[in-house]
Amino acid sequence: MSTPLIALTMGDGSGVGPEVIVGALLAPEPAGFCRPVVIGDAGRLRQAAAVLGVSARIETVGGVADAVFEPGRINVIDPGLLPADLPWGEVSAVAGNAAYEYVRLAGSLAMSGEVQAICTAPLNKEALHAAGHVFPGHTELLAHLTGTEEVSMMLSTAKVKVIHVTTHIGLIDAVARIEPGLVERTIRRGAAAMRGSGLERPKIGVCGINPHAGENGLFGYGEEEEKIVPALDRLRAEGMDVHGPLPADTAFFLAGRGDYDLIVAMYHDQGHGPVKILGLEAGVNITVGLPVIRTSVDHGTAFDIAGKGLADPGSMLEALRQAAELSQARTS
C-alpha cells in the first residue's frame, strides 16, 4: 500500500513556516510514512534552506501527479504570490493573502481526493486580516472552504489530547456561547476522532468553566449545571464513558498520568496552556469535523526568530506523522 499524499501549506512566508518545512522534509522520517507536496513559494523555501545552512533540491511541479519523491528533493506547487524581497518577521498583507491561497488550494486538492490530508504551517492572523480574509485562524478558514458548519480544534500530544468547545473568541463571549448542544456535539466529535485513531471507547474527562468546576455553586452562577451537565447526562445515557464537570487543574493532571484519553476544554487557554507546557514541539493541532483530514503545528509564525535558522521542525514532523496515520486509518 502506497503512503498517503499530503498537501503541506507553507503558511505565512514572513514567519518560520518555510524553515520548519525544509527542516522537516529533509529529515529521514517523513519518507517512511507520507508523500508531501508543499503548496507555497519555491524561492522562499530556498531562502529558508540557506538560512538553515542545508542543501535541498526544491523543485516546482505543476500538480500533485507531477511530484517525484527522492531523498533531498522537496516538491512545490508555487502560485507565484510572494516577492523575492519579502522581509522576514514582519506583518505583510501580501504574505497573508498568499497564506490564504495556499490553504484554499490545499483544500481543493483534498476535497477532490488528489491528496489524502492537509498539513499546515502557521499563518499570521493580522496579515490574513490585512489581506481582507477575516477569519480567526485555520480552523474557521477550512470550515468555510469546505462548507462545514461546525468544527472543533483538538490538540494532540503523546501525554494528553484536548478538544475545545470554544476557541478563538474572548473569554466573556466564550462563556456566553457555551451551551449543552455545543458541548454535546464537541464531545461527539472528539469521541469520533478517538475512534478514528483506533480507540473504540475512549474515556473522556470534561472540564468545568469556573474554578473547581463551580464547587457545587460556590463559584460562578451555576454555569456547570446549566451549560455542561445536561449534555453529559444525555451522553452517559447512551453509554458513553464521559466524566465531569471536572476542575480543569486536576483534569489535566489526571489525563497526564493516563486516567483519561481525551479532555474537553471549555475555552482556548484552558486547553492550550497545559499542552504548551509540554513544549511547542510536542503538540499537533487537528481540526475535527471536516470532510478532510487537517493537522498543523501547534505554534505560531514566531516572527521574532523567523529567518534566523532557529525554528524547531519537531512539531511539523509530528503533524505530518499524525496526518499520515489519520488518513491511513480512514481508508483502512
One domain for residues 121 and 37: yes
253 contacts: CB under 8 Å, gap ≥ 6? none
Provide the 3-class DSSP secondary structure of residue 154.
Answer: strand
User: Mean pLDDT throughout 105-122?
Assistant: 97
The answer to whether residue 138 is domain-embedded is yes
Asked if residue 192 has pLDDT above 60, the reply is: yes
The string of pLDDT tens digits covering residues 236-279 is 999 999 999 999 989 999 998 999 999 999 999 999 888 877 65
The answer to whether residue 282 is domain-embedded is no
Which of these three, 232, 252, 277, is where a domain ends?
A: 277
One domain for residues 46 and 83: yes
Q: What are phi and psi of 274, to 5 degrees?
A: -60, -35
User: Mean pLDDT throughout 293-297?
Assistant: 94
One domain for residues 31 and 128: yes
Output the average pLDDT for the chain.
93
One domain for residues 182 and 315: no
DSSP structure class, residue 207? E
Beta bridge partners of 220: none
One domain for residues 131 and 190: no
One domain for residues 40 and 78: yes
DSSP structure class, residue 165? S
User: Mean pLDDT throughout 63-74?
Assistant: 96
User: Mean pLDDT throughout 100-110?
Assistant: 97
Asked if residue 166 has pLDDT above 60, the reply is: yes
pLDDT for the residue numbered 189: 95
Size (the chain), residues: 332
Domains contained in the chain, number: 2
pLDDT for the residue numbered 160: 86
User: Mean pLDDT throughout 174-199?
Assistant: 93
159 contacts: CB under 8 Å, gap ≥ 6? 255, 256, 278, 282
| Distance (Å, whole) CA 265 – CA 250 | 12
Domain of residue 332: give its range.
Answer: 1-150+289-332
For residue 280, name the pLDDT band (cuts at 50, 70, 90). Answer: low
One domain for residues 299 and 232: no
pLDDT for the residue numbered 281: 58
Provide the 3-class DSSP secondary structure of residue 297.
Answer: strand
Beta bridge partners of 308: none
The answer to whether residue 116 is domain-embedded is yes
DSSP structure class, residue 283? -
Spatial contact of 119 and 7, defined as CB atoms under 8 Å apart: yes
The answer to whether residue 219 is domain-embedded is yes
Q: What are phi and psi of 236, to 5 degrees?
A: -65, -35
The answer to whether residue 284 is domain-embedded is no
171 contacts: CB under 8 Å, gap ≥ 6? 267, 269
The answer to whether residue 283 is domain-embedded is no
CATH number at residue 186: 3.40.718.10
